[in-house]
Amino acid sequence: MKSAPFKYYVPSEIDEALELLYQLGDEAKILAGGQSLVPMLNYRLLSPANLLDINRVSELKRYSLTDEGLKIGAGVRQREIELSPEIELAFPVLHQALTNVAHVQIRNRGTICGSLAHADSAAELPSVMVALGAQMVIRSGVGVRAVKAEEFFKFHLTSDLEPAEILTEVHVPKLPAKTVGAFEEVTRRKGDFALVGAALLGQWDANGQIQNCRIVCSGVAPVPLRLRFAEDIVNGTDLSDQVLVNVQQSVMDSLDPTEDIHTSSHYRKIVTGVVVRRGLSRLVDQRGAANGSR
């Protein structure tokens, strides 16, 4: 469990990092928080020839919360976002998801963008970013591009990032008024990756009906799985008990989830229905608050 040899680069400017990455190409891995990368190096699951440490790039260490939304740089630790009261108020579902990411010690070091770039579909952040409609800001030596979260995740541990690119920032757009959200998951142990997880968002309208509902599951597919059919069932309804029962059944009937050593496809199929129903009932719990002061 000692890493294979690699060359180590510590750029202090983003342009320097991009230039290095351009030269090194697919022979390099980017080290941010290292909470997934370093164990993979030690298990020799990865043995990149070069390691590009972006922890000294001060430009990447910033986050900002404005009228447009939240921007989180690639160097920002998960714990910083979790502990910001303003962010918790603006994006409660992101805060809830973060409290389910591993343990405090790991969140102290792990970065938001690192988790997204790692693209583990059982992780919390990818599904919550898809639900939030986040944009991935991707830079390379030749320019900048933005990719919707929903299109960023390609397969398990595979994202849209090209070898010479860095996910420098994630943009989370401001949520519409009266948005409610929930994050639900089932894990073996506290802090584990989800056996099944779901991030849910929606808005209660004046008639007491949920609109623009987004339901995105983690752990059930090679990418965060947006359950559009379930969203169609619930949008425009009052999320009555009958609707919740219907959506649970529909999820159970429709999914063909991943099987791994943690649990079976069958378990995930049943429990995804449960998790989605429970998440939706938490949206119901917030109906009064959404139609009240805000």
Question: To the nearest whole angstrom, how small is the minimum distance from the Cβ of residue 47 to other proteins?
Answer: 9
Q: Which stretch binds other proteins (CB under 8 A): 25-33, 77-85, 257-265, 284-292?
A: 257-265
Q: Which two tokens stand for residue 276?
A: 């989605």
Cα atoms found within 13 Å of the Cα of residue 107, Cβ hemisphere only: 20
Q: Which of 85, 206, 207, 261 binds other proteins (CB under 8 A)?
A: 261
Find the helix packing angle between 265-285 and 241-254, rounded to 10°: 160
Within 12-41, the residues that bind other proteins by CB under 8 A are: 39
Given the complex with other proteins, which of 103 and 148 has the nearer CB atom?
A: 103
The residues in 44-103 that bind other proteins, with binding defined as CB under 8 A, are 44
Assess 193 for contact with other proteins (CB under 8 A): yes
Among 195, 198, 213, 233, binds other proteins (CB under 8 A): 195
- 225 by Cβ neighbours in 10 Å (0-12 / 13-18 / 19+) ranks as buried
Determine, following the binding rule CB under 8 A, whether residue 271 of this chain makes contact with other proteins. Answer: yes
Q: Is 186 in the site for other proteins (CB under 8 A)?
A: yes
Identified binder of other proteins from the candidate list 61, 262, 282, 287, rule CB under 8 A: 262
80 vs 185, beta carbon nearer other proteins? 185
**Which of 144/157 has CB closer to other proteins?**
157
Q: In 3D, which of 205, 228, 227, 70 has the Cα closest to residue 137?
A: 70
Binding flag, residue 252, other proteins (CB under 8 A): no
Q: With H, G, I as helix, E, B as strand and everything else as coil, classify residue 102.
A: coil
Torsion angle defined by CA atoms of residues 11, 13, 14 and 18, in that order, rounded to the nearest 10 degrees: -50
C-alpha dist (Å) from residue 39 to 6, 34, 47, 142: 15, 8, 11, 31
Binding flag, residue 189, other proteins (CB under 8 A): yes
DSSP 8-state symbol, 237: S
Give the interface with other proteins as residue ranges (CB under 8 A): 1-5, 39, 43-44, 186, 188-193, 195, 261-264, 267, 270-271, 274-275
